[in-house]
């Protein structure tokens, strides 16, 4: 059997186009454009690429992009001063601080400083709590993107066995909460899980978010399972070249799975599309502007 390849790039383009249509309506109704402030600290090359992509996607959707590039040596206090300014800036509907941050800055303190109602990354503990108990808030972009891909592929998720591999605050835990809200039976597996292949073999849905290239093998999967690969691992190749690899061994998994996301071109592009979506949602909430329920 050969799995269906889930086209995250295409799904992300479609979501961004839908958001752009709604942004046009929002601008016509309110006379202003939603604004996203992105803060980059230091010169991590991958982070710089992601921040550039976010700015471009924001502008393409008809929104305002405010980029703040700060030196790697900036103090935690100075970074938090900037966040406080953005919190009180009425032109800013969404704020995100690109992760990872340099070692001398505590990401938890920085995230805590963001106004939860502008926290379009959904990382603030208030938003984590809202997600856990079913209140309106912001859902982290990567798990939200995964859920959108799953629903497009499978429709109703109710009653399905879902295994999330990885328990990070920004992917694994919120992903598990989202699947639970869809009435899945959810297992969170992690580095101390015993007999991981056996746990994964029970899953109709596998979400791999561990950060280890090719860890999940085809013979771990239930035939026909839907596999969402969140991993973005840069793997060294021959002659100094490198390539991206997911957490799933695509060659073997695509022989057994029913559907699978590729890396690149799967979950990654959905992260940015969902960020644009969350920014519009933030602006719309502020102005009482109604958006389609399924956006
Ligand atoms: N504040 C945040 N920091 C980080 C987040 C986040 O959601 N908020 N997530 C990741 C990085 N990230 C967005 O910030 C991100 C990662 C990957 C992609 C993506 O489209 N990847 C492409 C491949 C790109 C490449 O060639 O390197 C793909 O998978 O097709 C988008 C966004 C950590 N930090
Ligand atoms: Mg993310």
Asked if the structure places residue 91 within a domain, the reply is yes
Counted domains in the chain? 2
Asked if the structure places residue 262 within a domain, the reply is yes
Flag whether the ipTM exceeds 0.90: yes
Say if residue 238's pLDDT is above 90: no
Other beta carbons within 10 angstroms of residue 272's beta carbon come to: 21
Write the residue with the smallest CA distance to atom 23 of ligand 1: 264
Answer yes or no: do 159 and 124 share one domain.
no
pLDDT band for 239, please (50, 70, 90 cuts). confident
CB of 272 within 6 A of ligand 1: the answer is yes
User: Mutation test of ligand 1: which of 5, 42, 47, 50 has the most ligand atoms closer than 8 Å to its C-beta?
Assistant: 50
Asked if the structure places residue 293 within a domain, the reply is no
Q: Is the pTM of this model over 0.90?
A: yes
**CATH number of 169's domain:** 3.40.50.720
Answer yes or no: do 252 and 148 share one domain.
yes
Answer yes or no: do 126 and 211 share one domain.
no
Q: Measuring CA to CA, how many Å separate 104 from each of 47, 77, 101, 259?
A: 17, 11, 8, 42
Residue 185's domain comprises 141-267
Which ligand has the shortest distance to the CA of 50?
1
Distance CA 33, CA 24 (A): 8
Instruction: Quick: pLDDT tens for 25-63.
Output: 999 999 999 999 999 999 999 999 999 999 999 999 999
Say if residue 94's pLDDT is above 70: yes
In this prediction, residues 220-227 reach a mean pLDDT of: 98
**CATH number of 100's domain:** 3.40.50.10860
User: What does the pLDDT read at residue 143?
Assistant: 98
Answer yes or no: do 80 and 117 share one domain.
yes
Asked if the structure places residue 60 within a domain, the reply is yes
Say if residue 1's pLDDT is above 70: no
Answer yes or no: do 125 and 163 share one domain.
no
Which ligand has the shortest distance to the CA of 172?
2
Q: Which atom of ligand 1 is nearest the CA belonging to 141? A: 7
Answer yes or no: do 168 and 258 share one domain.
yes
Q: What is the mean pLDDT of the chain?
A: 97
Closest CA to 33 of 290, 283, 295: 283
Positions marked active-site: 54, 98, 121
In this prediction, residues 227-252 reach a mean pLDDT of: 95
Asked if the structure places residue 290 within a domain, the reply is no
CB of 265 within 6 A of ligand 1: the answer is yes
Answer yes or no: do 150 and 227 share one domain.
yes
Share of the chain above pLDDT 90, in %: 98
Say if residue 280's pLDDT is above 90: yes
């Amino acid at each position: 059997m050969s799995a269906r390849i889930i086209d995250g790039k295409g799904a992300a383009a479609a979501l961004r186009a839908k958001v752009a249509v709604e942004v046009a309506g929002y601008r016509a109704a309110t006379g202003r454009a939603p604004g996203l402030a992105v803060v980059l600290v230091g010169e991590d090359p991958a982070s710089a690429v992601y921040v550039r992509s976010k700015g471009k996607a924001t502008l393409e959707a008809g929104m305002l992009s405010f980029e703040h590039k700060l030196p790697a040596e900036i103090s935690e206090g100075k970074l938090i001063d900037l966040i406080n300014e953005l919190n009180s800036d009425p032109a800013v509907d969404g704020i995100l601080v690109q992760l990872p941050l340099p070692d001398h800055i505590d990401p938890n303190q920085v995230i805590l400083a963001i106004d939860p109602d502008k926290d379009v990354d959904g990382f603030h503990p208030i938003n984590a709590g809202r997600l856990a108990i079913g209140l309106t808030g912001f859902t982290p972009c990567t798990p939200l993107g995964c859920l959108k891909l799953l629903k497009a592929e499978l429709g109703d998720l109710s009653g399905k066995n879902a295994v999330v591999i990885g328990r990070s605050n920004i992917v694994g835990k919120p992903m598990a909460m989202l699947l639970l809200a869809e009435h899945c039976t959810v297992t969170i597996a992690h580095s101390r899980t015993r007999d991981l292949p056996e746990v994964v073999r029970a899953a109709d849905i596998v979400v791999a978010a561990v950060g280890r290239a090719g860890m999940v093998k085809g013979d771990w999967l239930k035939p026909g399972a839907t596999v969402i690969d969140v991993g973005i691992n840069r793997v060294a190749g021959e002659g100094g070249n490198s390539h991206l690899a997911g957490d799933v061994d695509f060659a073997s998994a695509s022989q057994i799975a029913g559907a699978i996301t590729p890396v690149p071109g799967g979950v990654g592009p959905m992260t940015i599309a969902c960020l644009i979506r969350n920014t519009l949602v933030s602006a719309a909430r502020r102005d009482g502007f109604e958006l389609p329920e399924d956006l």
